[in-house]
Amino acid sequence: MTEATTRAGFVALIGEPNAGKSTLLNAMVGSKVSIVTHKVQTTRARIRGVAMEGQAQIVFVDTPGLFQPRRRLDRAMVAAAWGGASDADVVVLMIEAHRGVTEGVKRILKTLAEIGSHRPVALAINKIDRVEAPTLLGLTKELNAAFDFAETFMISAEKGYGVADLRAWLAGTLPEGPWLYPEDQIADLPMRMIAAEITREKLTLRLHQELPYQLTVETEAWEERKDGSARIDQIVYVMRDGHKGIVLGNKGETIKTVGKLARVELEEIMGRRVHLFLQVKVRPNWLEESERYDQMGLDFKDGNS
């Protein structure tokens, strides 16, 4: 296979929190590389998933949702999102059909227009099963009048509708060149970080308060055992003693359940036995520690006001 016949490049998925970017990434790649929850702002790092389409290799950058930042972590996440967009060969703006053109979408369109673009920007209207056809057509017209999109796609990331069409278009739009990753690689995140993200997802789903945005999970140790299994030690950092009690649950039931769910999913992904051990520690200022940002793949300096 010659270089001239192959294509490869980076595709940034941008949009408001909860627009379905992580679900689309996982559908495109065909494996779980980004956490998917019903909470907003769960994607913190620019997670890359790799999809093969014919002779094209599509490297997805799943950026944190774009919103009005208030804290250091928020500002670092928004900076990472726009950084992912500016580094990409193609940008895909995802919006939710039933929410329409929100103030957040207007801000994103304004910034896209301001930064200009030498790269194609596609529009992906997600969750189309939630609205009637006339509403969808009106929304498409309004958005294309507001910005010069290279192409518009009607999709349902969750149900898979329209995903193949979008993937085929991306494959044909990327620049010619050699593949950037081995053919069988689905993500460039180290497994230690993927494992931490999976545990954080389970915690987020289990805890329905604001607490999830005030905790982080880090893989402290990873031991490969002679029997082919892996021992993974993780720390859940929370900001207050009261939060520690919530994460542990009555007689430790919550953390046990979370650990079991995370272990089962890790075993499915890795195809072998996993021994997962979780500890909960109070770190009042973890949101202001540069090492925590490094662990999440974010730039601590981007959080400065």
Tens digits of per-residue pLDDT, 189-234? 567 777 888 898 889 888 865 465 578 888 888 888 889 888 999 9
Q: What is the pLDDT of residue 269?
A: 76
- Would 264 be classed as within a structural domain? yes
Residue 270 has pLDDT above 90, yes or no: no
User: Which is more confident, 106 or 22?
Assistant: 106
Q: What is the pLDDT of residue 52?
A: 85
SS (H, E, C) 65-78: CCCCCCCHHHHHHH
Average pLDDT for 167-174: 95
- Containing domain of residue 278, as a range? 191-303
Average pLDDT for 145-155: 94
CA distance linking residue 127 with residue 64, whole number of Å: 19
- Would 182 be classed as within a structural domain? no
> Could you say which of 117, 144, 173 is where a domain stops?
173
Q: What is the pLDDT of residue 114?
A: 74
Q: What is the pLDDT of residue 92?
A: 92
Same domain assignment for residues 100 and 169: yes
Same domain assignment for residues 39 and 123: yes
Please state, as a whole number, how many other Cβ atoms lie within 10 Å of the Cβ of residue 55. Answer: 13
Residue 156 has pLDDT above 90, yes or no: yes
pLDDT band at 305 (very low <50, low <70, confident <90, very high): very low
Same domain assignment for residues 160 and 212: no
Domain of 69: which CATH number? 3.40.50.300
* Number of structural domains found in the chain: 2
Same domain assignment for residues 217 and 167: no
Average pLDDT, the chain: 80
Domain of 205: which CATH number? 3.30.300.20
- Would 268 be classed as within a structural domain? yes
Same domain assignment for residues 169 and 213: no
Same domain assignment for residues 168 and 197: no
Q: What is the pLDDT of residue 163?
A: 93
- Would 184 be classed as within a structural domain? no
Same domain assignment for residues 9 and 124: yes
Q: What is the pLDDT of residue 30?
A: 74
DSSP 150: S
Please state, as a whole number, how many other Cβ atoms lie within 10 Å of the Cβ of residue 293. Answer: 25
Same domain assignment for residues 160 and 226: no
Q: What is the pLDDT of residue 33?
A: 58
Q: How many CA atoms lie within 13 A of 242 on its CB side?
A: 4
- Would 104 be classed as within a structural domain? yes
CA distance linking residue 180 with residue 169, whole number of Å: 19
Instruction: Give tens-digit pLDDT for 279-298.
Output: 999 887 766 666 656 655 56
Burial class (CB in 10 A: 0-12, 13-18, 19+), 303: buried
Same domain assignment for residues 35 and 159: yes
Residue 40 has pLDDT above 50, yes or no: no
Instruction: Give tens-digit pLDDT for 185-200.
Output: 655 556 777 788 889 8
Same domain assignment for residues 167 and 236: no
- Would 207 be classed as within a structural domain? yes
pLDDT band at 39 (very low <50, low <70, confident <90, very high): very low
Highest mean pLDDT: which of 8-22, 132-146, 266-280?
132-146
* SS3 label, residue 220: strand
Residue 300 has pLDDT above 70, yes or no: no
- Would 225 be classed as within a structural domain? yes
- Would 219 be classed as within a structural domain? yes
Least Cα distance to 217 among 199, 191, 243, 244 occurs for 199
Same domain assignment for residues 8 and 83: yes
DSSP 293: H
CA distance linking residue 251 with residue 204, whole number of Å: 19
Same domain assignment for residues 146 and 295: no
